[in-house]
Amino acid sequence: MNFSILKLSVALVLGACLTARAGLYSYTGSARDIPDGSLEGISSQITVNGASSSLTDITVHVSVSGGYNGDLYAYLSYNGALVPLFNRVGVGTGSALGYSDSGFNNLTLRSSGSDVHDYLLTQNPHGGALTGTWKADGRVLSPLSTPGSYDADGTLTLNGTFHGMDPNGSWTLFFADVSAGGGQARLDGWALEISSVPEPVNMALGCFGGVFLAVTLLRIGRGRRLLPWRLARKRD
């Protein structure tokens, strides 16, 4: 094993240490109706196991059928923190009721991109369930706030809120339909896509151990290759 191979080995060890592990964690229960016109709503849990101990990125996938999207309020909570995913989408100055289309078809919510609160009916022209990838709402407002209160952009993001937390544990999705009428909404399913790495101290220890092993193997390999040459010198 020469010096170039050693550098390659060390690089591979460090790369393995620094690479985030990604996992998809899905809700496995039955679909649930969201009570119409009730702030009590419903809660659903996903338990994350086996992830590394420091979250670096999180994405939420949500499927809802029926109902009236402008009535819906939802947030993701974990470890004492929460992020509004939907807060009566479309509500704002000049629109007290929000968007009238129904549901979200495997909608993906991230920490960046176009704001789901303002997705516009023109981007969903057939009035069916909205799909695609969007930025989570993030508006820290009561869902009973005045329409003009929704004009400002949301202040909370998924990564900004949950970054660095140990993702292993029970995550909760809360959903409510806060205004009566508009049909029955149903939570059909949801999932979390989480990337994480070991805690910095543990990662450093693991990387140091890996580099030490690579150097040790190099020394052993060099010793074995040099031994016949040394014996030959002694015979001479």
Q: What is the mean pLDDT of residues 183-197?
A: 98
Lowest mean pLDDT, pick from 68-72, 155-159, 212-216: 212-216
Between CA 35 and CA 42 the distance in angstroms is: 8
**How does residue 73 score in pLDDT terms, banded at 50, 70 and 90?**
very high
Q: Report residue 72 CA to chain centroid gap.
A: 21
> Average pLDDT over the chain, rounded to whole?
83
Widest Cα–Cα separation across the chain: 99
- Classify residue 230 by burial, with Cβ atoms within 10 Å: 0-12, 13-18, 19+: exposed
Each residue's pLDDT tens digit, 206-225: 444 443 334 343 444 444 44
- The secondary structure of the chain as a DSSP string is --HHHHHHHHHHHHHHHHPPEEEEEE--S--EEE-TTEEEEEEEEEEE-S--SEEEEEEEEEEEEES-GGGEEEEEEETTEEEEEEESTT-BTTBSS------EEEEEEEEEEEEGGG--GGGSTT-S-B-SEEE-----S-TTS-GGGGSSPP---HHHHHTTS---EEEEEEEEE-SS-S--EEEEEEEEEEEEE--HHHHHHHHHHHHHHHHHHHHHHHHHHHHHHHHHHHH-
What's the pLDDT at 200? 61
Looking at the predicted structure, is the pLDDT value of residue 107 above 80? Answer: yes
Q: Answer whether 0.75 is exceeded by the pTM.
A: yes
Q: What is the mean pLDDT of the segment spanning 62-85?
A: 98
78, pLDDT greater than 90: yes
User: What's residue 18's pLDDT?
Assistant: 54
What is the number of other CB atoms lying within 10 angstroms of the CB of residue 45? Answer: 11
